[in-house]
Structure 1
Amino acid sequence: MSKHGKVLVAMSGGIDSTVTAMLLHEEGYEVVGITMKTWDYANSGGSKKETGCCSLDSINDAREVAVMMGFHHFIVDIREEFGDYVIDNFVDEYLAGRTPNPCVLCNTHIKWNSLLKRADALDCEFIATGHYAKIKHENERYFIQKSADLNKDQSYVLWGLSQECMARSRFPLGGMTKPEVRQLAADLGYEELSKKAESFEICFVPDNDYRGFLKRRVPELEGQVAGGNFVTTSGEIIGKHQGYPFYTIGQRKGLGMAFGQPMFVTEIKPDTNTVVLGTSDELIRNGMNVGQVNNHKYATIPSDLELVTKIRYKDPGALSTMVQTGDHVAVNFMANVKGVAPGQSAVFYEGDDVVGGGIIYGGHKFGEN
């Protein structure tokens, strides 16, 4: 019998998940590896060569590690489930004038559910991934904490995990830095793996061109939305755009026109195919509404707390106060914040602890509803 129990490890073939499996194996867990195929690159229509977690090479790399270390490895095809939920949501959100975060949605509704389902079938008490984050249990609550490597910290994309998911999850890399992970792989004899490059793209958009993906996914889209108006915040028409789904809040480059001064996308109006442009100052928001909130550290967010709110993955965050009503949170920023984008995730931190997170419904200035 294993020392710590049986754990199902999500293995992409990359360095992080491989070292995760190695560490758990060395700690005395009975490791079972699983690789989930979520997407066919051929179906994306992009020009980039197939690489990353769903490629045949990556699947073979994961299996090779399992064979070398002597534990079972399974490949699970979840392409239909992934496509129906994550990709359809991705397209629908852009068509609604919002900016989706598919990695958060995938973690919350696809990967963890799939892992727990297979873990139960294989009698595994735990699941593990190569995420750079920590899990803490305190006052009968489980919550995510930032990793030791703040440059690699992935706590932001894990706000949607349920209490059950966190109770059964293990993140062995949470206390390590990326250079330490690479060195460990090299020390264990995986020199080539230790030098393997990382991918930062959305897995089903391998050429990193989401606009091209939308056009291929919805062929009639371009003809329906091209030629809408660019307008100022006062309503003045100042040009024509290529279609509202192809723009995001805060965007400055790629507008296709010169305006004599830097102009940014401040609002997207899908009903009229209108993209509102404004100056940098017109991007400022003093607060926002957040829905679909999932609480981590507290059952309800205390209204007397001052928390740091991140509105995007690499956002340093802004000091905020908030009031929670059900799964909705009204956030007031204590400093001006730019680029609040509906559809993106807002994550609330108390120090290194994730208090909760949700989906941004919209930003506002003081005096606005």
Structure 2
Amino acid sequence: MKYLTEAFNLELKLNSEKEINVKKKKVIIGLSGGIDSAASAYLLKNEGYEVIGVTFNFLDAENTINAAGLVAEKLKIEHHVLAVQKQFKEKVVDPFIAGYQQGETPNPCMLCNQNMKFKLLGEFAAANGDAMIATGHYAEIRKYKNEYQLWASPNPNKDQSYFLYHLDQERLGRLLFPLNRFESKAAVREIILDLLPELSRGKESQGICFIPKKGHGLFLKDAVFGNNPTAPGNFVDITGKILGRHPGIHQFTLGQTRGLGINSDQRLAVVEVIPATNTVVLDEEQALYQSCIFVDELIIQSPKGLPETGFTFKTCRWGHEYEGRIERISRTQAIVHSHVPVRAPALGQALVFYQGRQVLGGGIIKRF
């Protein structure tokens, strides 16, 4: 334990050996009851911060609230539970459902980070002496001259910077990511092994928090499309020719090649889902590859803006990084021209720009 706390101290040092000057010693941390937020709170307290835990009650999930309360009790820190079920439904669940109804594949974690977690943490911090805020995300914040920069974690297997491109300079300047130097989940677990052994043995959360264990497809069937649109519909090609029947559009996503049940000499893939007509459009898999991607709701983190070239981008967290150039249409819209075609950039997902490990900004993939 001594080795870990020395090796992974919380002084946020820049690679240039300049330190981010943290003037405030009070910090509000999002406390989920999981390993990452618990370890972050532990490290912050050991560093001398006055740590206040905040748990968001999104779903009336007693297990989450109780686990977070146990962490706060063990760490002897102040703990607050905020009832935000209504806001969560309006800002995350409803837009997620609306996106699917429009044939998109929205990212609810992105919606939650942008519209709920960081917004509410910032408001709570402002009401508590303009405190710093912290989360258990795996990412890094650096300061260069007068600019705060978001960088991807050195550990690409844990990096979560893709979900954080929306953070502006004000939030970046008040934000701490205590886990940014950890190389593995095992090292994080070891930190709280003695303090909370039952937590360190827990499984890492997976999937979408508001979708029940019965499964993604059934949730879409019940909550997104209702009864009628999940009735069998048509598979069609890009000319509108009927190729066969499908059991319900909730079972199909962009890029899907398996489970289509269509006999063809070609390798077919889902290239579009049209909820309005209960139709799934199929084409050769090669048709999924696009060199031009339209991005809306563009957010640029750096005050210097986004260069026309000299960046990479990716269209999902685990996706390949592509080189390209950007053609700005307006302040919030652009076309990204990839040097090599991108497979199945999904409508509703984020496209995030990088320069090395630095996050430059991002936006949402939309129809042009």
* Residue from 298, 304, 310 that aligns with 1:306: 310
Say whether the 8 Å CA contact 2:25–2:49 is kept in structure 1.
yes
* 1:185 maps to 2:185: no
2:25 partner letter: G
Alignment of 1:168-317 (within 5 A): 168-177=174-183, 178-186=185-193, 188-207=194-213, 209-217=215-223, 221-259=226-264, 261-303=266-308, 305-317=309-321
SS of the residue 2:179 aligns to: helix
User: How far does the alpha carbon of each residue in 1:173-218 deviate from its partner, in whole angstroms, 9 at most, with x for none?
Assistant: 11112222122222x4333322221112100013272331133325
* 1:167 maps to 2:173: yes
Query: CA, structure 1 residues 343+215, in 2 after alignment: closer, same or farther (shift >3 Å)?
Result: same
1:183 partner letter: E
Question: What residue is the counterpart of 1:98 in the other structure?
Answer: 104
Query: CA, structure 1 residues 306+223, in 2 after alignment: closer, same or farther (shift >3 Å)?
Result: same
Distance 1:298 1:72 in 2: 36
Structure 1 residue runs without a partner (length 5+): 41-54, 363-368
Query: CA, structure 1 residues 258+121, in 2 after alignment: closer, same or farther (shift >3 Å)?
Result: farther
Structure 2 residue runs without a partner (length 5+): 1-21
1:15 partner letter: I
SS of the residue 2:143 aligns to: strand
* 1:26 maps to 2:46: yes
Distance 1:258 1:207 in 2: 32
* 1:319 maps to 2:323: yes
Say whether the 8 Å CA contact 1:230–1:241 is kept in structure 2.
yes
* 1:356 maps to 2:340: no
Query: CA, structure 1 residues 66+225, in 2 after alignment: closer, same or farther (shift >3 Å)?
Result: closer
* Residue from 317, 320, 328 that aligns with 2:333: 328
Distance 2:23 2:91 in 1: 38
Say whether the 8 Å CA contact 2:229–2:278 is kept in structure 1.
no
SS of the residue 2:360 aligns to: strand
Question: What residue is the counterpart of 1:366 in the other structure?
Answer: none
Q: How many residues align?
A: 345
Question: What residue is the counterpart of 2:3 in the other structure?
Answer: none
* Aligned-pair identity (%): 37
User: How far does the alpha carbon of each residue in 1:321-343 deviate from its partner, in whole angstroms, 9 at most, with x for none?
Assistant: 11233111210111121111111
Query: CA, structure 1 residues 153+208, in 2 after alignment: closer, same or farther (shift >3 Å)?
Result: farther
1:248 partner letter: T
Question: What residue is the counterpart of 1:48 in the other structure?
Answer: none
* 1:337 maps to 2:349: no
1:98 partner letter: E
Say whether the 8 Å CA contact 1:10–1:129 is kept in structure 2.
yes
Query: CA, structure 1 residues 22+249, in 2 after alignment: closer, same or farther (shift >3 Å)?
Result: same
Say whether the 8 Å CA contact 2:221–2:230 is kept in structure 1.
no
Query: CA, structure 1 residues 208+163, in 2 after alignment: closer, same or farther (shift >3 Å)?
Result: farther
1:312 partner letter: C
Question: What residue is the counterpart of 2:7 in the other structure?
Answer: none
TM-score normalized with structure 1 length: 0.87
Query: CA, structure 1 residues 258+24, in 2 after alignment: closer, same or farther (shift >3 Å)?
Result: farther
Distance 2:27 2:78 in 1: 11
Say whether the 8 Å CA contact 1:95–1:245 is kept in structure 2.
no
TM-score normalized with structure 2 length: 0.87
Say whether the 8 Å CA contact 1:7–1:124 is kept in structure 2.
no
1:360 partner letter: I
Say whether the 8 Å CA contact 1:98–1:248 is kept in structure 2.
no
Query: CA, structure 1 residues 124+8, in 2 after alignment: closer, same or farther (shift >3 Å)?
Result: farther
Question: What residue is the counterpart of 1:36 in the other structure?
Answer: 56
Give 1:38 deviation, angstroms.
0.7
Distance 2:350 2:263 in 1: 31
SS of the residue 2:208 aligns to: coil
Say whether the 8 Å CA contact 1:297–1:353 is kept in structure 2.
no
Say whether the 8 Å CA contact 2:229–2:249 is kept in structure 1.
no
Distance 2:144 2:334 in 1: 23
Distance 2:47 2:261 in 1: 55
1:9 partner letter: I
Say whether the 8 Å CA contact 1:97–1:245 is kept in structure 2.
no
* 1:132 maps to 2:152: no
Distance 1:101 1:154 in 2: 14
* Residue from 69, 80, 86 that aligns with 2:75: 69
Give 1:299 deviation, angstroms.
4.2
Say whether the 8 Å CA contact 2:24–2:132 is kept in structure 1.
no
